[in-house]
Structure formats: structure tokens, C-alpha cells
Amino acid sequence: MITRRTSERLFEFSFRLAERRKAREKQGNLACVDKANVFKAFAFFRGIFDEIAKNHPEVKTDRLYVDA
């Protein structure tokens, strides 16, 4: 089950990790990989990713479909 609370915690952790990597002069990129093209729950997940991404503009983000 995908919940907002757990997704937010996952993304906050992930964005902070990407920021730490970027600070060490490594790539600070983050990709959301899902099946938003098939399942509404993953569209919800991707939407939360996009919301959290706005708070971390220094991290380059990408969105990919898992089966693409």
C-alpha cells in the first residue's frame, strides 16, 4: 500500500542523500521509477515525488517508467 506519509519520508531521505552526494562533488541526481502510466497509485506516488522535489531545487530529477 502506498501512503502519503511513507512516500514523503522515503523521498525526503532520498533527496537529502542526493544533496549530500552533490556536496561531495558527485552526481546529485534522483529518479522516480514507477508505473504511473498503468496504476493510479503510482501516479499518486509520482505526484508526491514532484511535490517534494520543489523543496530541493538543487537536485536534478528524472521520471521513468519501470518497464520502458
pLDDT at residue 28 in the model: 84
- What are the start-end ranges of the H helices in 1-68? 4-23, 40-53
What is the domain count for the chain?
A: 1
Range of the domain at 46: 4-65
C-alpha span between 66 and 68 (Å, rounded): 6
pLDDT at residue 30 in the model: 95
Total-model pTM: 0.88
Give per-residue pLDDT as tens, 11-62. 999 999 999 998 888 888 999 999 999 999 999 999 999 999 999 999 999 9
pLDDT confidence of 63, banded at 50, 70, 90? very high
